[in-house]
Amino acid sequence: MFRRLADRVFNSSTEQQNVNTLKNMGFSEADARNALQQTDGNLEQAANILLARGPSTQHNSSSAPARDANRQQVEDDELQRALQASMMTTSTTTPQLASRNALPKPAPKRKPKTAAATNAGKAALTRANTPPNSAHSSRSSSPAISSHPNVKVPTKLSNKSKEEQILRTADRLKSSPSALDTLYKTLKTLQSNPTHPKFRRIDQTTAGYQKSLANAPGAEDLLLAMNYRKSNGHILTLELADPATLYLGISALEQTRLTPEYLYGKSLQQFHKELRQAFHSADNSAQEAIARSQHMSKLPTEPTMGGAWIFVNFEGLEQDSQYKLKRKFDADDTLGDALHWIAGNGTEILTKLQSGEWELVDGNRHPPACLDVSNASSRTLQYIGCWPSGKLIIRPKSSTNDGMDAQQESQQPSHARGLGAAPMLD
């Protein structure tokens, strides 16, 4: 309705201009309005209609104002009724909104307080009321310890006695034989020459330290227990070469060198050294190259269809792709064929296996079981359980593995693989 009112005001001003234009052309006001109404306000068409009518258009001039007046009155009445209805609707809606806003809003529901939130609040209150000058008192009065009085918090290693620090850090070095040997040499040198400048000051950024000690667990802790002090973030300086402390450190390292872990680690180091020499021996020896080619000539043809992969890994070098061997074999190929293939990569490897210094292990069994390379050479890969999937591991023979072999023999009947594990029929 308001839009109609706005359109009406705009149209009325335009219509009056058009009427005045037609009046200036010589037509009466009634004829001009009538013509404009017939043409929807088009001035040009209204002028054409009036010109076509000529003087005959004057007979309706008396009735046109009456019709215009009636139409104008009807529109005014409708507009007035619309305005009154709009005012009544607004006056009715406003009290309803006011009464709705005046109603009290429901309070938001609170989540129930959990036990964890309650304990967290108590802990925060306890920390706030604890004096900051005593770290020990704050630990002893913590809610966790007070609620569990039977639980004992372990003492830090730095707070233990000097003897216990040395014994525990030396024991941690049993899995790092290189680091243990380096520290043993250092302490022995200081014992014989306490003023030796090379070992009284240790720079942790040097290549030697990074290679042998940086990644060894317990190495730095042992040096700190031996009265070394750290400065500038990477310098270890010996403050006091105490003979008793040096003797205790050397004795602890000597005991660690007798552990099975250290002994096997040393044998593994020697194993890796000899293995690298075996792999690269053909580079400088024509005789080795000829021997390898002879072993390779005894191999059966590698199957292109239907064969199975046989993998050979060397213990401790599983992540080094240079020392990973793989080849396809048929089910009726023998363990001897696989040994010729291994010897084709280094004849010294086969020699070590046959002498017993190294051992060949079936990695598909759990726990891994050793294979007798002498007696099982004529057996097929399927018979010994290495086909259709074979994972062989070559590792050094050691006293640690001897104990494992006894356990494997006791478990072999339940974990045997291949055709050889099937019971014999009467």
Name the 3-class secondary structure at 314: strand
* Confidence check: pLDDT of 356 > 50: yes
Residue 189 pLDDT = 93
* Confidence check: pLDDT of 184 > 60: yes
Greatest mean pLDDT among 39-48, 131-140, 232-241 lies in 232-241
Q: What are the extents of the domains in the chain?
A: 1-56, 160-258, 268-421
Task: Tell me which of 404 and 247 has the higher pLDDT.
Answer: 247
Between 115-119, 240-244, 314-318, 358-362, the lowest mean confidence (pLDDT) is in 115-119
Closest CA relative to residue 183, chosen from 219, 217, 235: 219
Residue 56 pLDDT class (50, 70, 90 cuts): very low
| Over residues 99-122, mean pLDDT | 63
Between 21-25, 58-62, 361-365, the lowest mean confidence (pLDDT) is in 58-62
| Over residues 124-144, mean pLDDT | 56
Residue 108 pLDDT class (50, 70, 90 cuts): low
What string of DSSP letters covers 319-348?
A: T-GGG-EEEEE-TT-BHHHHHHHHHTT-HH
- Residue with tokens 């040994």, as numbered in its chain: 339
Residue 9 pLDDT = 43
Residue 111 pLDDT = 61
Any idea of the CA torsion for 69, 71, 73, 74, to the nearest 10 degrees?
160
Contact 275, 345 (CB under 8 A): no
Residues 6+ apart with CB under 8 A from 166: 222, 225, 226, 245, 248, 249, 252
Greatest mean pLDDT among 15-29, 93-107, 344-358 lies in 344-358
Residue 398 pLDDT = 65
Between 41-55, 117-131, 208-222, the lowest mean confidence (pLDDT) is in 117-131
| Over residues 343-353, mean pLDDT | 94
Amino acid (one-letter) located at 421: A
Task: Tell me which of 168 and 239 has the higher pLDDT.
Answer: 168
CA distances from 153 to 139, 142, 145, 300 (A): 10, 12, 8, 65
* Confidence check: pLDDT of 342 > 90: yes
Residue 354 pLDDT = 93
* Exposed e or buried b per residue across 283-299, where buried means at least 16 C-beta atoms within 10 angstroms of its C-beta: eeeeebeebbeebeeeb
Share of the chain above pLDDT 70, in %: 71
Question: In this structure, how many other beta carbons lie within 10 angstroms of the beta carbon of residue 166?
Answer: 21
Residue 36 pLDDT = 81
Between strands 369-371 and 228-231, the pairing is unpaired
What string of DSSP letters covers 208-247?
A: HHHHHTTTSTTHHHHHHHTTEEEETTTEEEES---HHHHH
Longest dimension (CA), the chain: 145
| Over residues 321-330, mean pLDDT | 92
Claim: this prediction has a pTM higher than 0.85: no
| Over residues 97-110, mean pLDDT | 56
Closest CA relative to residue 346, chosen from 406, 281, 260: 281
| Over residues 360-376, mean pLDDT | 89
Q: Which helix (H) or strand (E) holds 151?
A: none
* Confidence check: pLDDT of 401 > 60: no
| Over residues 399-406, mean pLDDT | 48
Backbone angles phi, psi at 333, to 5 degrees: -70, 150
Residues 6+ apart with CB under 8 A from 178: 212, 216, 269
- Residue with tokens 């099982």, as numbered in its chain: 376
Residue 207 pLDDT = 92
Residue 71 pLDDT class (50, 70, 90 cuts): low
Residue 22 pLDDT = 77
* Confidence check: pLDDT of 336 > 70: yes
Greatest mean pLDDT among 63-67, 82-86, 398-402 lies in 82-86
Q: If you ran DSSP here, which 8-state letter would residue 107 be given?
A: P
* Confidence check: pLDDT of 142 > 70: no
Residue 340 pLDDT = 95
The token pair at 351 is 């020699």
| Over residues 208-231, mean pLDDT | 92
CATH no., domain 160-258: 1.20.58.2190
Give domain 1-56's CATH architecture: Orthogonal Bundle (1.10)
Residue 2 pLDDT = 44
CA distances from 186 to 159, 179, 192 (A): 25, 11, 10
* Confidence check: pLDDT of 109 > 80: no
Tell me which fold the domain 268-421 belongs to.
Answer: Ubiquitin-like (UB roll) (3.10.20)
CA distance 385 to 391: 10
Residues 6+ apart with CB under 8 A from 238: 190, 199, 200, 201, 226, 227, 228
The token pair at 365 is 């069994």
Q: Give CA 24 to chain center in angstroms.
A: 91
Contact 201, 238 (CB under 8 A): yes
* Confidence check: pLDDT of 259 > 50: yes
Residue 91 pLDDT = 58
